[in-house]
């Protein structure tokens, strides 16, 4: 009997990726397939071997004893093949994707997560383009963007990434507990690149709170410095809670009172002509997964 009569290589590759990532969805993004295709290939392999390889859950899969036995050999085998290919073709470089976003979103949300993408997809070099002015995605300046806005962009496809809620936050050392404390605590504001009737700024917040606005303000040209000033105890900032979730969870900031104001969502945006681009699918899938992993902002206190 031929010792190399193996199941289809595509099925073995699908199993190895799903076993390594414990996710059909992540395996699909890595192999530029759909989760349904991964599930189908794994099911074919299980039928061929006559054993179950995964215990399927709602959001993840786990290996059965048979899967645990099979996985290490396949992992080492694919690693050995990758090293051999690299030896004869060392000039191969990662494919690149340019992602455009604002400086605030890049520094406050995206940068702390980039290491996870690099570990998940070393074959894709993700480059950031930061700026408040939208880049021309049709002209090739970037292939993908994260934009704050209503989500309607002609000739572009968009998907909601993060919902925005704005509320006053400050360092705990300011000991602000109620709205009356704003008489002594400076208000921190920043320049909005674009404004509309529902821009969540201090005048709108005081209108929702039913109070007359206090005049003491520290004004910054950008949101990043406004957030940093709040962390440094310089005053009370009205900011997007999604961008300070880590500081709220870690106690560097707290949100002592409301009301909260809604804002526009952050949207993933890309040219319709690149809906099926495998690299863009991989980056989009990862960003959406990261968004679902974010911590829920703490309650008032």
Token pair, residue 230, equals 């709040």
Q: Tell me: do 274 and 203 sit in the same domain.
A: no
- Domain stops at, among 88, 115, 143: 88
Q: Tell me: do 169 and 233 sit in the same domain.
A: yes
pLDDT of the residue at 1: 39
Q: Tell me: do 187 and 102 sit in the same domain.
A: no
Q: Would 298 be classed as within a structural domain?
A: no
Q: Would 77 be classed as within a structural domain?
A: yes
Q: Would 35 be classed as within a structural domain?
A: yes
- Of 256 and 299, the structure prediction assigns the larger pLDDT to 256
Q: Tell me: do 178 and 258 sit in the same domain.
A: yes
Average pLDDT, the chain: 87
Mean pLDDT of 159-179: 92
Residue 92: pLDDT band with limits 50, 70, 90: low
Q: Tell me: do 173 and 157 sit in the same domain.
A: no
Q: Tell me: do 107 and 132 sit in the same domain.
A: yes
User: Is 297 a residue whose pLDDT tops 50?
Assistant: no
Residue 90: pLDDT band with limits 50, 70, 90: low
Q: Tell me: do 148 and 272 sit in the same domain.
A: yes
Q: Would 24 be classed as within a structural domain?
A: yes
Q: Tell me: do 35 and 77 sit in the same domain.
A: yes
CATH for 27: 1.10.10.10
Q: Would 211 be classed as within a structural domain?
A: yes
Q: Would 63 be classed as within a structural domain?
A: yes
pLDDT of the residue at 269: 92
- Of 59 and 240, the structure prediction assigns the larger pLDDT to 240
pLDDT in tens, 179-234: 888 888 999 999 888 888 789 999 999 999 999 888 778 999 889 999 999 999 99
Q: Tell me: do 185 and 234 sit in the same domain.
A: yes
pTM > 0.85: yes or no: no
Residue 295: pLDDT band with limits 50, 70, 90: very low
Q: Tell me: do 281 and 155 sit in the same domain.
A: yes
Q: Which long-range contacts (CB under 8 A, 24 or more apart) does 294-297 make?
A: 294/162, 294/242, 294/245, 295/245, 295/246, 295/249, 296/245, 297/165, 297/241, 297/242, 297/245, 297/248, 297/249, 297/255
Q: Would 247 be classed as within a structural domain?
A: yes
The number of folded domains in the chain is 3
- Domain stops at, among 88, 111, 141: 88
pLDDT of the residue at 57: 80
pLDDT of the residue at 152: 81
Q: Tell me: do 247 and 170 sit in the same domain.
A: yes
Q: How many CA atoms lie within 13 Å of 43's alpha carbon, on the beta-carbon side?
A: 8
d(C-alpha 290, C-alpha 287), whole Å: 5
Q: Would 3 be classed as within a structural domain?
A: no
Q: Which residues of 185-213 are buried (b: 16+ CB within 10 A; e: fewer)?
A: bbbbbbeeeeeeeeebebebbbeebeeee
- Domain stops at, among 42, 73, 88: 88
Residue 223: which domain range?
165-262
Q: Tell me: do 148 and 231 sit in the same domain.
A: no
CATH for 258: 3.40.190.10
């Amino acid at each position: 009997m031929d010792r190399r009569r193996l199941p289809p290589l595509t099925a073995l590759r699908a199993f190895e990726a799903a076993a390594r990532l414990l996710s059909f969805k992540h395996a699909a993004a890595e192999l530029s397939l759909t989760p349904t295709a991964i599930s189908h290939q794994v099911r074919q392999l299980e039928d061929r071997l006559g054993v179950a390889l995964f215990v399927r859950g709602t959001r993840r899969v786990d290996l059965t004893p048979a899967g645990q036995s099979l996985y290490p050999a396949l992992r080492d085998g694919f690693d050995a093949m990758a090293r051999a290919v690299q030896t004869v073709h060392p000039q191969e470089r990662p494919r690149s994707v340019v992602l455009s976003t604002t400086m605030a979103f890049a520094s406050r949300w995206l940068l702390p997560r980039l290491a996870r993408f690099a570990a998940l997809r070393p074959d894709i070099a993700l480059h950031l383009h930061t700026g408040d002015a939208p880049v021309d995605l049709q002209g090739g300046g970037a292939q993908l963007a994260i934009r704050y806005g209503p989500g309607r962009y002609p000739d572009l496809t968009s998907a909601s990434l993060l919902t925005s809620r704005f509320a006053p936050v400050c360092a705990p050392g300011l000991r602000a507990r109620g709205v009356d404390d704003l008489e002594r605590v400076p208000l921190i504001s920043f320049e909005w690149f674009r404004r509309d009737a529902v821009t969540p700024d201090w005048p709108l917040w005081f209108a929702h709170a039913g109070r007359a606005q206090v005049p003491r303000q520290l004004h910054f040209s950008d949101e990043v410095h406004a957030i940093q000033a709040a962390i440094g105890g310089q005053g009370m900032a009205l900011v997007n809670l999604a961008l300070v979730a880590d500081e709220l969870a870690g106690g560097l900031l707290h949100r002592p009172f409301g009301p909260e104001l809604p804002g526009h969502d952050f949207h993933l945006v890309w040219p319709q002509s690149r809906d099926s681009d495998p690299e863009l699918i991989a980056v989009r899938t990862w960003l959406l997964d990261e968004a679902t992993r974010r911590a829920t902002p703490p309650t008032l206190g």
